[in-house]
Amino acid sequence: MGLLRKPQTDTQQLHHQRSKLLTKHLGRRRQVTRRELINRESEIGRELFGPIPKGMRREFFNLDPTTWIWHEESINPKTKKKETRTVKYEVHKDHILKVEEGPRYTKMHGQELSNFTLATHMYYERTMREIYNRDPATGKKLA
Amino acid sequence: MIDQFTSPHDSSEILGDNELIDAQRLAVSLAISSTEGLRGIENAHQDEEAHFTEPVAVFTQPFSEASNEKQPQRPWTAEDVSTYLRREGELIHDARNKELTSQG
């Protein structure tokens, strides 16, 4: 396996170096990937619920048109072990389904649904303006 | 919280290489299992540990204003909420795709 992997790694390194040189030569910015855009959106998403306690990491982002993800990590002060929690919110035709690890399913309703809707709305407004420079109402580029 | 936002920077400074992708993998696995779970879903009680039960604010905006569509003002139905969220998701998805394609 080692013999097979080494050339591949070398090739990848060569591509990486060439890419860096080319980017430097052309003076262009590195192209942004979809994942990086989602990361930037999540920077906004994580702020919507207030300050994040020290030692905790939080992500909230739109994965695709019908999926939202909440992810939280923290260190348990007693066990000193990392604890994670990921929740997926699925947008269905007439309900929002909350899917937790387990898996465990809950139809969202009441105050929780209202707050979730508002959070996604704030996320939408801010990502469109601050990341994509687009008018949230029309989707068109802002001047 | 909105005022505290700072401009986006290199994602490598924000997340570890595999962390977000792990969340996405989990999302995929949950998506598969949720299809099965939907068959037996009931109107489950509200989760006591729900993240969104901490009031951000109460969502009271009439549907017609929020969606910029000419519809009679009325309380939102479950379908209205789903339509609205789906629309937002599609617009974000479109904006992402346009951003990626605009890079040439």
Supply the ipTM of this predicted assembly.
0.76
**Omega prior to B62 cis, within 30 of 0:** no
CA distances from B33 to A58, A88, A102 (A): 24, 12, 10
- Interval B16-64: pLDDT, tens: 545 555 655 655 555 444 444 444 333 334 444 556 665 444 444 555 4
Nearest to A105 by CA among A124, A92, A121, A118: A92
Size of interface A-B (CB pairs under 8 A): 195
A133 touches B at CB < 8 Å: no
Q: B51 contacts in A (CB within 8 Å)?
A: 49, 70, 72, 87
Q: How far is B51 from chain A (nearest CA, A)?
A: 8
Nearest to B55 by CA among A84, A72, A63, A111: A111
pLDDT of residue A66: 95
CB contact under 8 A, B27 and A69: yes
Q: Record the pTM.
A: 0.65
In A, minimum Cα distance to B45 occurs at A106
Cβ atoms within 10 A of the Cβ of A107, count?
A: 18
Q: Which residues pair with A90 in a beta bridge?
A: A67, A97
The tokens describing A3, both together, are 């013999």
Dihedral, CA atoms, A133, A137, A143, B5, nearest 10 degrees? -40
Distance, in Å, from the CA atom of A103 to the CA atom of A71, rounded to the nearest integer, reads 15
The tokens describing B80, both together, are 């209205």
CA B30 to chain centre: 16
- Interval A83-118: pLDDT, tens: 888 999 999 999 999 999 888 899 998 888 888 888
Cβ atoms within 10 A of the Cβ of B29, count?
A: 13
Contact map slice: A 48-67 vs B, CB within 8 A: 48-50, 59, 62-67
Q: How far is A81 from chain B (nearest CA, A)?
A: 17
pLDDT of residue A25: 55
Sign of CA dihedral A18, A22, A25, A27: negative
CB contact under 8 A, B56 and A101: no
Name the one residue in this structure whose structure tokens are 């401009």.
B7
Nearest to A136 by CA among B99, B67, B77: B67
- Interval B59-74: pLDDT, tens: 445 554 555 555 556 6
Q: B2 contacts in A (CB within 8 Å)?
A: 47, 122, 126
Mean pLDDT of A25-34: 68
Of B5, B54, B91, the CB nearest to A47: B5
A47 touches B at CB < 8 Å: yes
Residues A44/A123, Cβ–Cβ less than 8 Å = yes
The tokens describing B42, both together, are 């009931």
Q: Where are the beta strands (DSSP E) in chain A?
A: 57-64, 67-75, 82-91, 96-100, 104-107
